[in-house]
């Protein structure tokens, strides 16, 4: 069975890597990899870390690219790939424009689509934007739906997806995370390299790790986050580290507001290994990232979600994350409550991660093998 795995961003690559590593060892599959290059440098970091060499690289990223140009260029490139490889299945991940474009391109060629991380929903088409509609449209096209949680499965069933075509797998990001943590903990030279890479880390201070890059937070939302960080940085018991996304809508205002401020360290986007290390060192994580909401609980790190909605309500219900929006004073208040180390911190840091046990990729590959046998 010929399977083409398609992805284009760093988060997709991290979540797809455990599946690809599992599939290449299965003789029943001829597995090839296509990257769109929707995010270039950050994608390449993950490919290098996992020693993944794409068979096809569409390299579509352009300066100030729009959603329309991403979709158009990805579909045109994939049409050429399909004409060369003729896959039986196209494997997509999550909610990016690459995911939707690959699904639609496959549909036009009547190629079956399997969707990893299916069924997440906010029911608000503009939050997260454009990810919510990307997921919903991919669901309409896909033949197999790998839901990370039971709640995601119920979302799919509510949209009349055939039950036999849904499998609850857990999230593959937990597979990737647990493997990476084990690698750091069992290789002292790696831990030493990470220490030398971040010599400014002070174990006597509580580390607040920040990620903020989503489109719906561009402008006022991101400015409010930065204003909150300026207030928090006045404390002498914290350090703030912010790997700044390369998108100029993020890098521009963040650098303007936070550059050269005491206790705030603006660093480049980190390779996956280094970012996991920073999550391990963090005391609190403030993020608008979906993947971090899933990963951090496995490390016992409370997550404050700087968004108005989340398609990952399982973490909120489990108590591993708290949805707080982007209001400046709300962010300051919630971070400071966690910094106090009281009951909220204890409950969030010990809550059970609802996103999986590290065996999602195995379940996905076994289900695809059943399709081959049919």
Return the DSSP state at 269: P
Residue 116 near residue 91, CB atoms below 8 Å: yes
Among 35-44, 64-73, 247-256, 317-326, which stretch is predicted with the lowest mean pLDDT?
Answer: 35-44
Residue 159 near residue 180, CB atoms below 8 Å: no
Among 13-17, 26-30, 35-39, 169-173, which stretch is predicted with the lowest mean pLDDT?
Answer: 35-39
pLDDT at 41 over 90: no
pLDDT at 62 over 90: no
Residue 349 near residue 317, CB atoms below 8 Å: no
pLDDT at 3 over 80: yes
pLDDT at 140: 98
Which contacts qualify for 295-298: CB closer than 8 Å, 24 or more apart? 295/173, 295/174, 295/177, 296/320, 296/321, 297/321, 297/351, 297/352, 297/353, 297/354, 297/355, 298/174, 298/177, 298/178, 298/181, 298/353, 298/355
Secondary structure (3-state) at 251: helix
Residue 215 known to be catalytic: yes
Task: State the virtual CA torsion across 89, 358, 47, 116 in degrees, nearest 10.
Answer: 30
Residue 238 near residue 232, CB atoms below 8 Å: yes
Distance, CA of 156 to CA of 121 (rounded, Å)? 9
Return the DSSP state at 163: G
Residue 224 known to be catalytic: no
Averaged pLDDT, 230-259: 94
Q: Which of 370, 286, 352, 368 is nearest to 20 (CA)?
A: 368
Residue 131 known to be catalytic: yes
Mean pLDDT of the chain: 95
Q: Which of 39, 40, 73, 213 is catalytic?
A: 213
What is the percent of the chain where pLDDT is above 70? 100
Distance, CA of 28 to CA of 24 (rounded, Å)? 9
What domains does the chain contain, in order, with CATH numbers?
2-170+359-373 (3.40.50.2000), 199-350 (3.40.50.2000)
pLDDT at 70: 93
Q: Which of 10, 12, 39, 117 is catalytic?
A: 117
Q: Which of 10, 73, 215, 312 is catalytic?
A: 215
List, for residues 295-330, the tens digit of each pLDDT value.
999 999 999 999 999 999 999 999 999 999 999 999
- Residues whose CB is less than 8 angstroms from the CB of residue 365 and which lie 6 or more positions away in sequence, other chains included: 19, 22, 23, 26
pLDDT at 169 over 90: yes
Q: What are phi and psi of 87, to 5 degrees?
A: -70, 150
Helix/strand/coil percentages in the chain, nearest 5:
50, 15, 35
Residue 288 known to be catalytic: no
Q: How far apart are the first and last CA of the chain?
A: 11
Q: Which of 12, 40, 95, 314 is catalytic?
A: 95
List, for residues 183-200, the tens digit of each pLDDT value.
999 999 999 999 999 999
pTM of the model: 0.90
Averaged pLDDT, 18-35: 95
Averaged pLDDT, 328-347: 97
pLDDT at 213 over 80: no
Q: Which of 40, 145, 245, 307 is catalytic?
A: 245
Residue 169 near residue 18, CB atoms below 8 Å: no
pLDDT at 216 over 80: no
Distance, CA of 245 to CA of 45 (rounded, Å)? 14
pLDDT at 61: 86
Q: Which of 131, 288, 295, 334 is catalytic?
A: 131
């Amino acid at each position: 069975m010929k399977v083409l795995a398609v992805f284009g961003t760093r988060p997709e690559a991290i979540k797809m890597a455990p599946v690809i590593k599992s599939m290449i060892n299965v003789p029943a599959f001829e597995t090839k990899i296509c990257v769109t290059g929707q995010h270039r440098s950050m994608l390449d970091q993950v490919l290098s870390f996992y020693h993944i060499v794409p068979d096809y690289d569409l390299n579509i990223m352009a300066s100030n690219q729009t959603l329309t140009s991403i979709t158009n260029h990805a579909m045109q490139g994939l049409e050429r790939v399909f004409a060369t490889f003729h896959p039986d299945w196209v494997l997509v991940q999550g909610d990016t424009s690459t995911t939707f474009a690959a699904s639609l391109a496959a549909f036009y060629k009547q190629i079956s689509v399997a969707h990893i991380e299916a069924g997440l929903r906010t029911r608000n088409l503009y939050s997260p934007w454009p990810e919510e509609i990307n997921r919903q449209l991919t669901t309409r096209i896909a033949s197999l739906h790998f839901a990370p949680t039971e709640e995601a499965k119920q979302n799919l069933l509510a949209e009349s997806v055939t039950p036999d075509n849904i499998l609850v797998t857990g999230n593959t990001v937990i597979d990737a995370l647990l493997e990476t943590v084990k690698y750091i903990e069992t290789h002292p030279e790696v831990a030493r390299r990470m220490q030398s890479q971040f010599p400014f880390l002070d174990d006597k201070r509580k580390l607040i790790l920040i990620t903020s890059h989503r489109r719906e937070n561009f402008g006022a939302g991101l400015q409010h986050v930065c204003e909150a960080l300026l207030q928090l940085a006045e404390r002498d018991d914290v350090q703030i580290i912010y790997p700044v996304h390369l998108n100029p809508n993020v890098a521009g205002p963040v650098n303007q507001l936070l550059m050269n401020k005491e206790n705030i360290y603006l660093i480049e986007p980190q390779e996956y290994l280094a970012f996991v290390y920073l999550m391990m060192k963090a005391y609190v994580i403030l993020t608008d990232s979906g993947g971090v909401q899933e990963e951090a609980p496995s490390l016992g790190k409370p997550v404050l979600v700087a968004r108005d909605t989340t398609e990952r309500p399982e973490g909120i219900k489990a108590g591993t994350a708290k949805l707080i929006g982007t209001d400046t004073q709300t962010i300051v208040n919630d971070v400071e409550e966690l910094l106090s180390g009281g009951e909220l911190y204890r409950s969030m840091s010990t809550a059970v991660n609802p996103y999986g046990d590290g065996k999602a990729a195995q379940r996905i590959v076994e289900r695809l093998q059943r399709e081959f046998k049919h």
